[in-house]
A and B are shown apart, each in its own frame.
Chain A
Amino acid sequence: MKDKLTKAFKNSVYEPNQDLEGLIWSSIIKRDKRNAQFKLWAFGLVGVASLAGLVPTFKILFTDLTRSGFYEYFSLIFSDTGSIISYWKELAFSLAESLPIISIISVLSLLFVCFLSIKYIMKQINRDQLISSLTLSI
């Protein structure tokens, strides 16, 4: 019974329009392209914003490094290396205490966001090119 029924069902398949497959594929391509372009713009904006933010943040970092005395403590390393080795612990504490942590975190965070954005922008550009080539082949 099963074989006969299977044969009967297989002979009664509803066939779709010939262009349905093409229609489905082109709608997927369209969505993919739209997604890629949206992501490109989004990452582009984020990247530009983070890049713009880096300028004042770097300025603040340099100011903070100067104000905190980090440069002066750091310069001691090059002044008399022999005696510095004896007081490495105190020097290490001085350097650690004078680190402008917040400024450093701000700069690193923005750099991170900036590099991540650039990475994703390149990815989206490649994707966009690939989708364009697929669109031509439809």
Chain B
Amino acid sequence: MEHDIKKIFESKVSFRILFGIGIAIVALLIFSLGVIVGFHKASYGHAWEENYERNFGFMPGRLPLDNFPNASGAIGKIIKITLPTIIVEDRNNTEKVILIKDDTQIQEMREQITINDLRIDDFVVVIGTPNAQGQIEAKLIRVMPIGI
């Protein structure tokens, strides 16, 4: 009986079963990661659309969205400064409202700067967390030289 059990577990079939289960686990983990990132983006995208008029002051005929915008950051030029918010025009021409809070770190290259040092047309990289108002609460804003 013991020998039979050992034989079963050492057989090719059991290896294939284990391998199949392993692949399924990895696939499900990757899928879950995708769902989390997708949900993250979709939530922000929805909030961004819902609050467009409130954030930007007008409502266009058709919202310029062919895909959900990145929810955790923005890269682009500052097109408007209305402290404590700035509006950044992202790479795909999506405008994002960045909310600068007390704990937001603002850097120019490696030097710390203040909120007042930000200028229109500054090229910034922002990372943060989306909120329910369709804004990105910045954790870090880094001003980069233009051309990067």
**Contacting residues of chain A (77-127) with chain B, CB-CB under 8 angstroms:** 79-80, 83-84, 86-87, 90-91, 93-94, 96-98
User: B127 contacts A73, CB within 8 Å?
Assistant: yes
**Which residues of B sit under 8 angstroms from A72, Cβ to Cβ?**
75, 125, 144, 148
Partner of B73, one of A73, A79, A80: A73
**Which residues of B sit under 8 angstroms from A90, Cβ to Cβ?**
72-73, 127-129, 139-140
Partner of B70, one of A79, A80, A84, A98: A98
Kindly state whether residue B142 has any CB partner on chain A within 8 Å.
Answer: yes
Kindly state whether residue A57 has any CB partner on chain B within 8 Å.
Answer: no
Kindly state whether residue A69 has any CB partner on chain B within 8 Å.
Answer: yes
User: B105 contacts A79, CB within 8 Å?
Assistant: no
Chain B, Cβ-Cβ closest to A70:
B75
Q: How far is the CA of A20 from the CA of B128 in the complex (A)?
A: 80
User: A87 contacts B41, CB within 8 Å?
Assistant: no
The dominant DSSP class at the A interface is helix
Which range contains the number of A residues in contact with the other chain? 20 to 34
Known: A94-B70, A94-B127, A97-B40. A83 touches B75 (CB 8 A): no
**Which residues of B sit under 8 angstroms from A97, Cβ to Cβ?**
37, 40-41, 70-73
Interface residues of B (CB under 8 A from A): 33, 37, 40-41, 70-73, 75, 90-92, 105, 107, 109-110, 125, 127-129, 139-140, 142, 144, 148
29 A-B pairs with CB atoms under 8 Å apart are A67-B91, A68-B70, A69-B73, A69-B90, A69-B91, A72-B75, A73-B125, A75-B125, A76-B125, A76-B127, A76-B140, A80-B107, A80-B110, A83-B140, A84-B140, A87-B127, A87-B139, A87-B140, A90-B127, A90-B139, A91-B127, A93-B72, A94-B70, A94-B127, A97-B37, A97-B40, A97-B71, A98-B70, A98-B73
